[in-house]
Chains A and B, each alone.
Chain A
Amino acid sequence: MTNAVFMVPITTFHYLVVAAALFVLGVIGVLTRRNVVIVLMSIELILNAVNLNLVAFSRMWGNLHGQVFSIFVTVDAAAEAAVGLGILIAFFRNKETINVDEIDLLKW
C-alpha cells in the first residue's frame, strides 16, 4: 500500500520530532541572522517548540500539568517579547541600526 506511512497512528514521538525540528530552526535563526527583530521571532519559535513538547507529554501522561506549564511559558514569552522589543526601540533611537553585530557599545 502506497500510503502505509499515513496509516500509522500518531504517537507522542511524532510530536516530539516536529517540536525538535522547530527548536533547531529557531536556534539556527538566533545564531545566524543579523536582524534583531528576526532573532526575537526565532526565540518565539523556540518557545513554541517547548510548548508543543509540554502539551504532547500532557496528553501522554493523561494529566493537565503540562498544559498549565505551557501557559506559564506563554506568559514568559509575552514578557520577553515586550522587554526585548522595548530594548530594540531604545537602541534604534541611539544608534539607528537593528543589526546584532553593530550592537557593541559594551565591547571594550
Chain B
Amino acid sequence: MNPALNSGLNSAVNAGMAPVATPWFFYVLAGLAVVSGLLVITRRNAVHSALALIVTLLAVTGLYLMLYAPFVAAVQIFVYAGGIMLLFLFVIMLVNIERSSKDRQFNRMWPVGLAAACALLALFVSAFVKGKALFPDRMISLPESSNTQQIAGMLYGEAGRMGEYTFAFEIASLLLLVAILGAVIMTKKKI
C-alpha cells in the first residue's frame, strides 16, 4: 500500500468517516440484490426464482449489517432465508410446476402492469431528485454490541416497566396464531 493512500485511510478513520473500502461493499451487495431480484421475476422455473430470492435476502442481510442492525440481520436469516423460503420450496414441491413452466409466463395484461410499474419508478425518481436535499447526509454509528438488548427492552420492557412496543408485540403473536390456524384449516382436505 502506498503511503499516500495509507495516510488518507488513517485520516478518514480519525475523522470518524467511513473507511475507504465500505462503498465497495455497499455497491457489490446492492448490485447483487438488484440483479438477483431481477432474476426472481424473470425465471421460468419457480425453483430458480426461489434460489435467486435467497441470494437477494442474503445481500439485503449484508446491507443490514452495514447499517448497524445485527439483530435485524439475524432475524432476516432465521425467518426469511430459513423459514419462509423453506415454506416456498415445500409448496413448489407439492404443486405441479411442470405444466406451469411450459405455459405462458406473463399474463395477458402485462403491458399495462409494466406501464404502471414504470409510472411508479418515475414517481420514485422524481421524488428522489427533488427531495435529495431533504435527507441529511449524516450517518450515525449506532452502538452494535447493545443492539439486541435495546431492542429487547423496547419489545419486552425493562426494569419492571412495559416497553414501548409490548402491546404491539402481543398483538403480533395473536396474528401469528391466527395465521397458523388459518393455514392449517385451509390446507386440510376435510374439516
Contacts and interface: CB of A to CB of B under 8 A. Distances in A.
Interface residues of B, number: 90
Given A67-B71, A87-B186, A60 B114 contact: no
A93 B189 CA distance: 9
Given A10-B23, A20-B128, A55-B72, A90 B187 contact: yes
A96 B124 CA distance: 39
Chain B contact residues: helix, strand, loop or mixed: helix
B66 to A, nearest CB: 8
B128 to A, nearest CB: 7
Contacts of B96: 92, 96, 98
Contacts of B137: 11
Contact of A6 (B27, B120, B150): B27
Contact of B154 (A37, A64, A93): A64
A96 B100 CA distance: 10
Contact of B67 (A23, A26, A58): A58
Given A6-B27, A16-B135, A37-B95, A22 B186 contact: no
A52 B172 contact: no
B56 A48 contact: yes
A45 B84 CA distance: 12
Nearest to A61: B140
Given A18-B30, A74-B76, A29 B40 contact: yes
Contact of B57 (A48, A56, A88): A48
Interface in B49-97: 49-50, 53, 56-57, 60, 63-64, 66-69, 71-72, 75-76, 79-80, 83-84, 87-88, 91-92, 94-97
Interface of A: 6-18, 20-29, 31-35, 37-38, 40-42, 44-45, 48, 51-52, 55-56, 58-62, 64-65, 67-68, 70-72, 74-83, 85-90, 92-93, 96-101
